[in-house]
Amino acid sequence: MRQQRFSASSEASSELDSFSRIRGKGGSNRRHRFDEDDDLPDYGLPFSDDEDQGAADPASLPAGDRWSTWDRSTPTEKGPEPRPDWVVTELAAVDTELGIVKTGKEADVFLVERAVPGTDRRTLMAAKRYRDSQHRMFHRDSGYLEGRAHKESRVSRAMAKRTAFGKEAIAGQWAGAEFSALCRLWSSGVAVPYPVQIVGTEILMEFIGDATGAAAPRLAQLSREEADLTDLWEQLGHSLSLLARQGYAHGDLSPYNLLVHEGRLVVIDVPQIVDVVANPRGRAFLERDVRNVGSWFTARGLPQSEVDRLAADVAFDARLD
C-alpha cells in the first residue's frame, strides 16, 4: 500500500518545501532564490524559472507526483553508459514519491518510483536531496574541500565566508561532487549505487533494497550471525583498493554508510570523497576510513593485524608509499 502523501500543513511538508530543487505536479519548480544578482556559475544549482517554460499541463499528468525529470538532465548529468536495463529513460514516465528512507544533516533520501503508465516499465530509485542554506549543517566541509577549487574566485570567497550564496554554492558542489564520484567509482568497479541522474541538488540513484521498498540494512545493524565477516571484509578491501587506485578516499567511511544487500557490501554517501594526492591530509583520510570500519570487524573477531595490513595496502595502492 502506498504511503500517505505529505499534507501542506504537516511538519514534513514544511521540511520538503525547504529543498532547493523539487519539481511539483506538472513539472513546476519550487526553488530557493539567491540574494546575488550575478548569473550563477554551473555547479549544479537549481534551474531558473524561465527554464520551466513548456512544462506539461498539470491536468494531463497521470497518477504521480511529477513527470520524469530525465529530460532535465544534460548528457553529462546522466549516469555512465552502458546503463543498467532497469533505468527508465522514457519521457512519458512519471515519478511518484513513496516516503522517506533516511534523514541526514546535509541531505535527506526519499524513495521514488519511476514508471511508464500502462506498461510494466517501472523502477525504484533513491532521491538524495541536499537542503537549502537555512536547513543545512555543512559543519565538516572545510577539511574535505581542501584541494578543491572553484573556477570563479568570487564563488570561492563566498564559500570560505559561508555567506548565504556561499552555502548554496557548497550545496551545489557537494551534490556535483557526489554525482561525479558515483559515476567514476561505478565505472571503475567500486560497489556503489548506480547514479541515474542529477537535477540541481537532487541526485537520483539506484535504490539498494528489495522490490517492496525495504532498504538494505547498514553494516552497523547486522548481528554476528547475519554477517559473513571474511567475505564482507574482502569486499571492503576490494572497494577501498579500487578507490585508492583512482586516487581517492571515501573520507567519512563507517559501518553506517555501508549497506549489505543479499550479501553484497555497497558503499554510500560519497559527497566528501577526498583526492588523497591534492589534499595534504589525504593519507590520514585513507587510514581513518580503514580503521573506522575495521573497529566494527575487530569487535566481531577479525584480527587487528588484518586492519593494519589493509591500511598499508590502500596507502600503497594510492601511491602514497
Where b means 16+ CB within 10 Å and e means fewer, 238-258 reads: ebbbbbbebbbbbbbbbbbbb
Catalytic residues: 252, 269
Answer for the pair 117, 92: CB distance below 8 angstroms, yes or no: yes
Portion of the chain with pLDDT greater than 70, in percent: 68
pLDDT of residue 64: 76
CA distance 30 to 209: 29
Fold of domain 219-317:
Transferase(Phosphotransferase); domain 1 (1.10.510)
* Set of cell numbers at residue 144: 574535505
Using pLDDT thresholds of 50, 70 and 90, give the confidence band for residue 106: confident
Q: Are 16 and 6 in contact (CB under 8 A)?
A: yes
pLDDT tens-place string over residues 289-304: 999 999 999 999 999 9
Q: Report the SS3 class of residue 34.
A: coil
Question: pLDDT tens digits, residue range 242-274?
Answer: 999 999 999 999 999 999 999 999 999 998 888
Residue 41 to residue 105: CA distance in whole angstroms:
25
Rounded Cα–Cα distance for residues 26 and 238 (Å) = 44
Residue 155 has pLDDT above 60, yes or no: no
Q: How confident is the model at residue 177, as a pLDDT?
A: 85
pLDDT, position 169: 59
Average pLDDT over residues 267-290: 91
Phi/psi-derived region of residue 200, left when phi > 0, alpha when psi is between -120 and 50, beta in every other case? left
Predicted confidence at residue 19, as pLDDT, reads 30
What's the helix, strand, coil split of the chain in %, to 5? 35, 20, 45
Q: Which band of pLDDT confidence, cut at 50, 70 and 90, is reported for residue 8? A: very low
CATH of 11-206, one of 3.90.1170.50, 3.40.50.1110, 3.30.1540.20, 3.30.200.20: 3.30.200.20
Cα separation, 268 vs 258, in Å, equals 6
Task: Locate the domains of the chain by residue range.
Answer: 11-206, 219-317
Q: Is it true that 11-206 and 219-317 share their CATH fold?
A: no
Structure confidence by residue, pLDDT tens digits, 191-205: 999 999 999 889 999
Q: What is the mean pLDDT of the chain?
A: 77
User: Can you say how many angstroms the Cα of residue 17 is from the centroid of all Cα atoms in its chain?
Assistant: 20
What pLDDT score was predicted for residue 174? 78
Positive or negative, the CA dihedral 265, 271, 275, 279 is negative
Could you report the per-residue pLDDT of 135-154, keeping only the tens digit for each?
444 444 445 444 445 445 65
